[in-house]
Chain A
Amino acid sequence: MGSLFTPLSWNDTGFILTGVWNTVIISVVAIGFGTLLGVIVGFIRAESNRLVNTLLGGILDIFRSVPLIIQLILFSTYIGAIGHPLEPFVAGSIVLSLYSMAFMSEVFRSGFESVHKSMQIAARSLGMSYWQTIFYIRLPIGLRAVFPSWLGVALSVIKDSALVSVIGYMELLRTSDQLISRTQQPLEILIGVGIFYFIISYPLSLYGRYVERKMAL
C-alpha cells in the first residue's frame, strides 16, 4: 500500500525554481512600474496645488490603507465578473504595481520637495529651462536623497509579492504551499523558501549599500 504523501525529492527542483522565477518576475515588473509611476505621481504632487494634492492623496491613501490581499482579490474577481478575466500574473502585476506606486510616490514627492527652491532659481539663472532644471537638477538630487527609502519599499514589494498567490499566481510561496500539502514537510520547505526570498532580496540590499556608498558625497 503506497503512502498518500511522497517526500521531497530532487525532482521538485524545477517546480521550486519556477516559483522563484515567477516571484522575481512579478517583483521586477511591480518595482519597475511602481518606480516609474511613482516618480511621475510624486512629481505631480510636489508641483501641484492643494486641490489636486488632496484628490491624489485620497486615491493614494486607498491603495496604501487597504490590505494588499483584499485589493488583489477584489480586483481579480471584479475584473473577472465584468467579463474580462485576466491571467493571475497580469492581474497581480497591475495591483502590485499600483500598490508600490502608492508608497513610492510619497517617497519621491519628499525627494522632489527636498531640493530647495533656491537651487532651482540658481539653475534657472544659468539659462536652464523649467524642464532642464527638472531633469538635470531636481530629479537627480531628489532621487539620491530618497534612495534608501525607495530601497526599503522595493524590498517590501518583493515580500508582498507572496500575496499574489491568493489569486492563483504560481510564485514561490504558492509552490511551497503545494509541496507542503504533498510532502507534509513544512519545516524544511518553509526554511528553504525563506532562504530563497533572502537570496532574491539580499543582492538588492547589497546593491543599495554599494550605491549609497558611491553617492555619499
Chain B
Amino acid sequence: MKRLLLIVSLILVTLPAFRSVADTAETHQLTQHEKIEAAEEEQAESKNLDVKEIIFHHLGDGYGWEVPFSHVYRIPLPVIVRAEDGKWFCFSSDKLTEVIVTENEETGKKEEHLVPVIHSVVRDGKEYLFYIPHLSENKNKVVELFPLTDAQQAEVNAMLIAEAKSKGTDLHHTVLAGYTKAGDHYYREYRPLDISITKNVLALFIAAVLVTVMVMCVVRFYTRKGMKAPRKGMGFFEMLIDFIYTGVIKANLGKNAPKYAPYLLTCFFFILTMNLLGLIVIFPGGANLTGNIAITLVLAVLTFIITNVKGTKHYWKEIFWPDVPMFLKFPLPIMQMIEIFGMFTKPAALCVRLFANMMGGHMIVITLTLLIFIFAAFGAAASGGATAISIFFSCFMLLLDVLVSFIQAYVFTLLSTMFIAMSQESGHHDEVEA
C-alpha cells in the first residue's frame, strides 16, 4: 500500500511538467489523414513479425510506460529537452503520440494504433516542433524538427533516392542522416540534449526510493527496538547486509571496511533492486535497467574513481614501477602500459559483465515468448506445442534470472571491493592479481 502511495506521489510531483506549455499552434500538426496513413502503415508492418524490433523495443527505453495488456495506452512521463537554440522544454510524453482507431477491412473490427505526432510549442513568437521519428538515425528518441522549403524538400527527396540506390534498400525504409519524414513532409532533425524522465529513469527513481525505504526501515527498527534482532522480511534484509558486509567487505578490506562499506552496500542493494524490479513485468518493474549500459557505466566509473582517487603510494608504484626485471620496464615501458591498460579494463569488465548478463537474461525470456508467435504461422499443433514449451522455459529462465540478479549484484560488489582493496594495499609482498 505504502509503495503504491509512493508511486502515485512520485507521478504527482512530475505532473506540473505536463501543463507547462499551453499555447500550441496548429500550423505544423499532422493532418488526420496523415495520422490514419501512419496507423495503416503500422498495421501493415505489424503483420509480418519483426522479432529484432520487438526485442529491442522491450530491452530499450521509452518515453511512456506501457500499462499491462495494451500496446497503445501508456503512463505519460515528462519529456525534458534542450532545443537547438538553448531553450529548455518540458512537456508530457503523451503529446508526442496519439491513438488512432481504424477499422480492419477484413474483419470489421476496430483497431487502435499508437502513432507519433508532431508536438508544436510556440514560445516567444517562435515555433518549436518535437517528434519521435520511426525512420531516422535517432529512432524512438525525441528530436526537434525544422520545416524545409519546397525546394529543400525536393533536394532531400533526390538525396534519398540516391541513398536508397547506393544501399539497395527500399525507399520507404531508407534513413537519411539529419533528416526525417513526418507525415508527407521531410524535416531537418536535431537531436536535442535530452534529460527526460523516461521509463528507465522513473524505474531508477523507484528503485532508489525502494532501497532508501528498506534501509530506513531497518534503521528505524534499531532506533526503536535497540538491540533486538529484526524478524521476517527485515531479518532477511539484515542478513543480506551482514552477508555482504562481513563476507565481502570486511573480509577483503579489513580495517578499511567501514570507510568503503556505504558505497559498496549502496551498490549492492541498488543493483539487486534494479535487477529484481526488471523481472517484474508490469508497472513498477519491467524496465531493463541493469541491462542498460548507461547504468552499469555510471557504477563502473564510480568504482574506477574511488579506486584511483583513494589509491595508495604502493598502488601507484605497482603501476609505474612494478617489481619485474628491468628490461620489462625501462627502455620500453611494457609493464607500465599493461598496468595502465589494466586500470581501465577492470571497471570496463565490471560494466560489461553486469550489462551483458542482465540484458542476456531479458533477451532470452523475450525470445522464448516470441517463439509462440513465430510458430503460430505453422498451424495449431505447432503453435500449441511451442506455447507449452516456451511458457515452461520462460518460467525457468525467469527463475534463473532471479538467481542471476542476486549473483550479478554480488559479483559486482565483490569485484569492486577487490579492486578497492588492491588500491588500498600499503605494502610488502602480498600480491593480489585479478
Question: Are A and B co-members of a single complex?
Answer: no
Residues of A within 8 A of B (CB): none
Residues of B within 8 A of A (CB): none
